[in-house]
Chain A
Amino acid sequence: MKLDLTIDGVPARIEILLPPPACRFLFNGDERAADVETPEPGVYSVIMNGRTYDARIEENAVVIDGFRFVIDVRDPRRLSRAPSGSGRAGVETIAAPMHGKVVRVLVAPGDRVEAGQGVVVVEAMKMQNEMKASRAGRVATVPAKEGATVAAGEVLATIE
């Protein structure tokens, strides 16, 4: 099993040669041995070179001893392809930063906005976050509705 990944944005490659518990793997070409157990779901207890580590899986990261590694696992065959891009050139998508509630929509489709202008206000846990346009442009769509609950990453507005 070979995987290409990025660790905090830096490309890396891992290949599992022998599965746990007596695990052998190649990390960026170096062969290593580690004793691996899964004492709790999402927690990997690793003993490597006599040192013990508790690696905890989070949504898109692995946390060990307070250090957080944001890890992106990629399909190696897709790596050579040009990135597909996140939409049309020149379109800015404003997405909800967290699960929350839309408390105010400050623009309507067709409005001109300046860079830094507030577009939508999302509230969660008593904190209001004003989502701002990162550049000047025209508001294309505003899927956000006042009072609606939105998931993290949900598109609130687009600017072109």
Chain B
Amino acid sequence: MFRKVLVANRGEIAVRVMRTLREMGIASVAVYSDADRNSLHVRMADEAERIGPAPSAGSYLRIDRILDAARKHGAAAIHPGYGFLSENAEFADACQDAGLVFIGPSAPSIRAMGSKTAARRMAIAAGAPVVPGTEGPVTLAGARDFAEVAGYPILLKAVAGGGGKGMRRVDRESELEAALRDAASEARRSFRNAEIYAEKLIERPRHIEIQILGDRHGNLIHLGERECSIQRRHQKVMEECPSPLVDLRPEMRHAMGEAAIRAAAAAGYYNAGTVEFLVDRERRFYFLEMNTRLQVEHPITELVTGLDLVRLQVQIAAGARLHLKQRDIHWRGCAIECRICAEEPYNGFLPSPGKITRLTRPLGPGVRIDGAIYPGWTVPMEYDPLLAKLAVWAPRREEATDRMIRALREYDVGGIRTNLGFFRQILEDPEFRAGHLHTGFIDEFFERRRPPLPPADLAAVAALAAALHARSRSQAEGSTSTAVSPWLRAGRSDLLR
């Protein structure tokens, strides 16, 4: 087993990986940019190395500096987390050339699944169903021809895409040219690759994905599904395991699991990976893409299967045989995860970086938090707004939902805006509770949402707290010159009169 592992990431996922490393008796090496000197992953690691300035292009994406840090600290392997270099085949190759183990799949597997069109061809060859689409990148004429046959609406997608970037819905031919131009320019900006392909659009699909796990000896199993239909801007914000749809249909889980394994096997895949599917209203599923890394939402699979995916990843990377067979995998209860982000849901999900002045985290039965924030820490503006992942487990979906609402009520993050209250409203929504999920859920939720009315006394209590706070600030006047909000200042000047 490795004695020391470098974690080529930051924030909550770096902390998550280090926790397991410590449990395994493996020393961890953190890397950090100038914006992250005070970040929790640096404080928690056994060793740490600065790798560059705040922008990730000069730090977390610098393969050379990360490899230098690994050599300097004597790490035997590198865990890439998710994002940054985790799906970069060049990085996987560079690790191998440097004599380091990349904790993930092989570079050829990453390459095979990295291009959406190549992955589609592989899925087709492996017999996994795919959404009707073009075989490769298209020009305007090609997209028009495809749409004529498949029918509108269609979806334009970046060949090198991910995270919803370079994606456009097209409802009629008149929109096609502008949409293709926009998608291509966004794709060029995001992935340095402007190639776009076209797919038939599936209306109100569910996003359901299968976690797979394989060793370097040809064993490949699946750990069941996660449903990730609650998305904003094509990015998941809330996930659950099992899917309320699939859970009622074991044969569907079996069929999707088999399809995922076939697609992964076709790419010679090992280590942890996720095969994403879209499911239409007739419950037909279609291969969407494969993520060749640990997923953000892996904790819910861990809660339901009782496994530690990071531990398994490390063991597999060290050459161990998978001791688990498909029949050993059991799914117990239900887990839900909310991605707690520094953003304002009711203001277009506008990012809200800043200093965390106060923090209370939920505790109690069935609650797990994967986070990297602490009171007094300033959330940097350079990176993803994900602060923490709050996950709960309970025997049944209904109980897990109630438990999540309870946990959200306990959670308090002061100083920045978060989406904590927004999740609570979704969890209380009857459509959510009935399990009627699809990827357009949040858009429709905004339309039907009626903000709940606060109990009668709440405004009086709020006014009292505001007045007392203004008063206490005025008493502390002079001892501090830090910026206070206008209403506190106004209250203070009133009191000083």
* A63 CA / B351 CA spacing, docked (Å): 19
B467 pairs with A43, CB closer than 8 A: no
A58 interface neighbour in B360, B414, B494, Cβ under 8 Å: B414
A71 to B490, CA, bound (A): 12
**CB closest residue in chain A, given B452:** A67
Q: Judging by beta carbons under 8 Å apart, are A69 and B354 in contact?
A: no
User: CA of A16 to CA of B490 in the docked complex: distance in angstroms?
Assistant: 17
Q: Which of A86-94, A106-114, A123-131, A138-146 contacts B (4 or more CB under 8 A)?
A: A123-131
CB distance from B54 to the nearest CB of A (A): 10
Q: Does B98 have its Cβ within 8 Å of any Cβ on chain A? A: no
Docked Cα-Cα span, A152 to B140, in Å, equals 41
Report Cα–Cα, A20/B486, bound state, in Å: 24
- A-binding segment of B23-31, B117-125, B285-293, B379-387: B379-387
B254 to chain A, nearest CB (A): 37
Give the residue of B342, B459, B469 whose beta carbon is less than 8 angstroms from that of A7.
B459
- Residue picked from B354, B420, B490, most chain A C-beta under 10 Å: B490
B342-383 interface code vs A (CB 8 A; 1 in, 0 out): 110001111111100110100000000000000000000111
CB-CB under 8 A for A1 and B383, given A36-B468, A40-B358: no
Given that A65-B409, A98-B351, A125-B353 are contacting pairs, would A27 and B460 also be in contact in the complex, using a CB cutoff of 8 Å?
Answer: yes
Contact of A99 among B353, B452, B465 (CB under 8 A): B353
Contact across chains for A125 and B385 when beta carbons are under 8 A apart: yes
Shortest CB-to-CB span from B212 to chain A, Å, is 28
Q: Given A124-B351, A125-B381, decide whether A46 and B487 contact each other with a Cβ distance below 8 A.
A: no
Q: Is the interface of A mostly helix, strand, loop or mixed?
A: strand
Is there a chain A Cβ closer than 8 Å to B458's Cβ? yes
Give chain A nearest CB distance to B150 CB in angstroms.
31
Q: Which of B205-248 touch A at CB < 8 Å?
A: none
Q: How far is the CA of A125 from the CA of B417 in the complex (A)?
A: 13
Tell me if A44 and B465 are in contact (CB < 8 A).
Answer: yes
* From A40, A42, A55, contact of B461 by CB (8 A): A55
* Contact A124:B458 (CB < 8 A) given known A16-B471, A60-B487: no
Residues of chain A within 8 A of B343, CB atoms compared: 125
Give the interface size class of chain A.
35 or more
Interface residue B466 (Cβ < 8 Å from any Cβ of A): yes
User: What sequence of 0s and 1s flags, for each residue 41-84 of chain A, a beta carbon within 8 Å of any chain B beta carbon?
Assistant: 11110101101011111111011111111011111100000000
A43 touches B358 (CB 8 A): yes
State whether the Cβ of B179 lies closer than 8 Å to any Cβ in chain A.
no
Are B357 and A42 within 8 A (Cβ)? yes
Q: List chain A residues, Cβ under 8 A from B382.
A: 125
Q: Quick one: given A44-B469, A60-B486, A66-B421, are A36 and B464 in contact (CB under 8 Å)?
A: yes
Q: Is A95 interfacial (CB-CB < 8 Å)?
A: no
User: Considering the chains assembled together, what is the distance between the CA atoms of A49 and B383 in angstroms?
Assistant: 45
CB of A23 closer than 8 Å to a CB of B: yes
Residue contact B466 to A5, C-beta cutoff 8 Å: yes
- Whether, in the assembled complex, B424 has its beta carbon less than 8 Å from a beta carbon of chain A, the answer is yes
Q: Are A69 and B487 in contact (CB under 8 A)?
A: no
Judge whether A99 and B460 touch: CB under 8 Å. no
B463 touches which of A12, A43, A124 (Cβ 8 Å): A12
Interface hub of B383, B414, B468 (most chain A Cβ within 10 A)? B468
Q: How many Å lie between the Cα of A72 and that of B464 in the bound state?
A: 13
Q: Are A55 and B491 in contact (CB under 8 A)?
A: no
Which chain B residues border A135 with CB–CB below 8 Å?
none
C-beta contact mask, B410-433 vs A, less than 8 Å → 1, else 0?
Answer: 001011010011001000000000
> For residue A32, which residues in chain B have a CB less than 8 angstroms away from its CB?
460
Q: List 30 A-B contacts (CB under 8 A).
A: A5-B466, A5-B487, A12-B463, A14-B464, A16-B467, A27-B460, A30-B460, A34-B464, A36-B468, A42-B358, A48-B457, A49-B457, A55-B464, A55-B465, A60-B486, A62-B466, A64-B462, A66-B421, A68-B421, A71-B487, A72-B487, A75-B494, A97-B347, A100-B351, A125-B381, A125-B382, A125-B383, A125-B385, A126-B385, A129-B348
Those 5 A-B pairs whose CB atoms lie nearest each other, nearest first: A55-B465, A125-B351, A73-B491, A62-B462, A69-B462
Residues of A near any B CB (own CB < 8 A): 1, 3, 5, 7, 12, 14, 16, 20, 23, 25, 27, 30, 32, 34, 36, 38, 40-44, 46, 48-49, 51, 53-60, 62-69, 71-76, 97-101, 124-127, 129, 149
